[in-house]
Structures are given as structure tokens and as C-alpha cells.
Structure 1
Amino acid sequence: MNVLNEWTALACKELGVDPARVDRDLILELTKEVAHGVARPAAPLTAYLLGLAQGAGTAPEDAVARLTALARDWGRATAQTLTDD
């Protein structure tokens, strides 16, 4: 078992999370987009926010799609926010 699989299994056990509910590749792809498109420190924060959204009832696939789109469009989204009054 590689370290990432072992970590995921043990972290899920510690938190009482069903590992079958964890789409590791989806989360890693999201955090890659955020780290490269926004800033590296935004990646773990985004993963945390994704967890909060899922806990509040947002479908993870929907939240990931929205966050990925935001990260990919970060420059325009930031420029628009700065010009909003």
C-alpha cells in the first residue's frame, strides 16, 4: 500500500468517514487547479471549504465543478470583484 492510500485509510478511520465516499483523484485534481491557478496555500484551504460545503449538504461533484471553474477563471473573477462597487 502506498503512503497516500495508507494515509487516506487511516484518516478516514480516525474521522469515521467511509473511504468509499472519498474521491481522492477528484480532490487532488481540484487542489492542483487551485494551487496553480490561484496560490499554493489556497489548495488546502479549498479542500477544507469543500468539506464544509459537503457537510452542509452540497453535492461534492457540484462543489468541485464550481471551485475548479472559479480557479480556472481566477484572473477574470478577481478583476471583476475589484471593479464591483
Structure 2
Amino acid sequence: MARLTQAIDRLDVLAERYRRPISFLSALLFALSCATWAGFIRWPDFELLSERQAVLISTGWNAIWWGLLNPRIMRRRAERAAATEASTPA
């Protein structure tokens, strides 16, 4: 459990450090996927990655992020904030 907590703390630090590039890339990928879905953009067919595989990878990533990592990161942030508040004198 301690290793998982350390990994979550490291991931949180990394995400905080690169917040703007990650946000920009996420918004860009969202816009591109919407444009592709609407038919404004046609991507070349890749033999290594079919549409079904892309959907499965995307679904898996979102399940891992929103179902596992993000809730734990938010919980850990709340724990650290509570520990900081408790350690500071009033």
C-alpha cells in the first residue's frame, strides 16, 4: 500500500508540473476526435490499429484514469491538505 501511495504522489507531482501541456494535448485530442467523428477529417487507415482497437484502448485508458487513478489522487490530495492543516499551529 505504501508503494501505491508513493506512486500516486509521484504521478500527482508530474501531472501538476505538466498541467498546461497535458491540458492542451487533451483538448487537441478531444477536438480532433470530435472532428473525425463528425466527418470533417478523414484519418488514414493504420494496419496496426483498427477502429475497434482504438476504441478499446481509449475506453481502457478512461476507465483506468477516471475509475482508479483520479479518485485516488484526489483522495491523497485531501489527505495531504488535512495533514498540512493539522500540523500548522492556529
Provide TM-score, normalisation by structure 2.
Answer: 0.28
TM superposition score normalised by structure 1: 0.29
**In terms of Rg, which structure is larger?**
2
